[in-house]
Structure 1
Amino acid sequence: MTALVFLIGGAILAANIWIVARTQDRIESDLLVCAAEPVGLVFGTSYWARGGGRNPYYTARLDAASRLLRLRRVQHLLLSGDNRTRFYNEPVTMWRDLRSANVRNTDMTLDYAGFSTFDSLIRAKKIFDVDRVLLITQDWHLPRALFIADALGMEAKGCAIPTYPTAGTWRLRIREWLARVGTLGDLYLWDRQPYFLGPREPLQMTPF
């Protein structure tokens, strides 16, 4: 039993080291020097924190996305998130808050079927014809997202969003460690497919 625990732990550690090593050189933590790309992909997350109040990860992603657009590090934002019910709609919530921050409607496209990181990226590639992209999310999320983008043949860079530490961050990081292992299975073992694809909708980008 002890040997099995060590074997599983070693596999998890090895998978994480490999994914981080393959992607770390394409992650910037300063918005001012994040790579300039045509499209910024903003990953959806809940507006509300589990313990109540506004989710700081959501706020940080939206603040960074609007700043990157103003800095012209990206030309267009693809807002990808969960739209599971009419009471829970991550893309529309992001769109409303960005409109309140004076982001033009023509500078945003909503992806209503970004049910996971995997789905958001494969839909960006196959539905919205995105080949070059700046991924906008927290530093602990970027290695997995970049690794998936690489597997899909996308030219992707990561912009790590400044976020103040909050209670429960350690749970997210542990979950992310496990999710990275699952990603290897998705890509190389059980040929995971997105929940929903649909027809192609190439992005329509408006000049600044």
Structure 2
Amino acid sequence: MAIVGAMALVLIVVVTVSANYWVWRKTHASITLESSQCVHEPVGLVFGTSYGLRGGGENPWYRARLDLAASLWKSGQVDHLLVSGDNHTRYYNEPIRMWRDLRRQQIPDAAMTLDYAGFSTFDTLARSRDVFGVSRVTLISQRWHLPRALFIAQYLGLEARGCATRKRSVFNDRWMWAREILARVQLLADLYLFDRHPYFLGPSIVLPTDAETPGNIIPVYRRVPMPAPVEHALEDLRALRKPDNDQDLKQSWHVF
């Protein structure tokens, strides 16, 4: 029994180390630790997490993700934010909470799309592809979470890069690092043994992409409509200034 137990322990250790090395090897080159160096992508995917901690107080990982998402949008490194989270009951709604807090950081509604069925990292990424039609994306999360998220994204065929939140020491996040070590083993089992599928997909939701350049998000200033009186006044002005022929066009230039 002792020999069998020792062999089983060795096997578990080998499988765990191998799985983590594989995930790290496939993804580490796609993770940027300095937010200012994150490359531009049309969509920034914000992974949901709980607002508060069980012992009380605000979840630092929640705040870090939102701060980074707001910073990337304001700097033009992403054109649109896909905010995904858990909404399994009417009393718990991660996307709405994130949406409210991003609005407090002056992110306009037109720059955000909410995904209410991001029950897990896998579901969030699968839905971003199959429901929202995302193909290129920046994943916004902590550095301990990004390897697993990027591995799933690559498995799903997404062209993804990871942008890590502000650094915290490994000691401060030690429980999350430990959790991820086991989660990466479960990840490989889900993808290659159990053929995992998202819990819920639903109808397609089209992000505001540019038809002329598919995959690119239309900038907010081109998506926010003008008030109707202003738009009508501009149309009337264009009609008045429209030249009837080339001669009128030449004369109109002399006016200005």
Query: Residues 1-208 of structure 1 correspond to what in structure 2 (within 5 A)?
Result: 1-165=5-169, 169-204=173-208, 205-208=217-220
Range with bigger deviation, 5-14 or 119-128: 5-14
The gaps in structure 1 that reach 5 residues or longer are none
Query: What are the Cα deviations for residues 102-126 of structure 1, in whole angstroms up to 9, with x where unaligned?
Result: 1000000000000000000000000
How far, CA to CA, are the matches of 1:25 and 1:104 in structure 2?
A: 32
Distance 1:79 1:166 in 2: 26
TM-superposed CA distance for 1:60, in Å, is 0.2
Q: Distance in 2 between matches of 1:34 and 1:152?
A: 22
Alpha carbons 2:170, 2:177 under 8 Å: kept: no
CA contact (8 A) 1:106 1:206 kept: no
Shift of 1:51: 1.8
| Aligned CA distance change for structure 1 residues 98 and 166 (closer, same or farther; 3 Å) | farther
Counterpart-to-counterpart distance in 2, 1:135 and 1:61: 10
d(CA) in 2 for partners of 1:54, 1:167: 19
**What code does the residue aligned with 2:78 have?**
V
Tell me what 2:252 maps to.
Answer: none
Is the radius of gyration larger for structure 1 or structure 2?
2
2-side partners of 1:206 and 1:38: how far apart? 9
Paired letter, 2:59: N
TM-score by length of 1: 0.97
Asked if 1 retains the 8 angstrom alpha-carbon contact of 2:47 and 2:140, the reply is yes
The normalised TM-score by structure 2 is 0.79
Query: Structure 2: which 5+ runs fail to align?
Result: 209-216, 221-256
Q: CA deviation at 1:50?
A: 2.3
Query: Any idea what the Cα deviations from partners look like across 1:172-202, whole Å, max 9, x if unmatched?
Result: 1111111111111111111111110001112
* In 1: Cα distance, 2:115 partner to 2:161 partner: 20
Q: Rate the CA distance shift 1:127–1:24 in 2: closer, same or farther, 3 A.
A: same
Distance (whole Å) between structure 1 residues aligned to residue 26 and residue 170 of structure 2: 28
Q: Equivalent residue of 1:15, what SS?
A: helix
Residues 118-171 of structure 1, C-alpha deviation per residue, up to 9 Å, x if partnerless?
A: 000000000000000000000000000000000100000000111434986222
Q: Measure, in 2, the Cα distance between the counterparts of 1:105 and 1:180.
A: 35
Which of structure 1's runs of 4+ aligned residues deviate more than 4 A?
A: 165-168
Tell me how far 1:207 sits from its aligned partner: 1.1
Query: Does the 8 Å contact 1:47/1:58 carry over to 2?
Result: yes
CA RMSD of aligned residues (A): 1.3
Q: Quick one: structure 1 residues 143 and 172, their matched pair in 2 at CA, closer, same or farther if it must change by over 3 Å? A: same
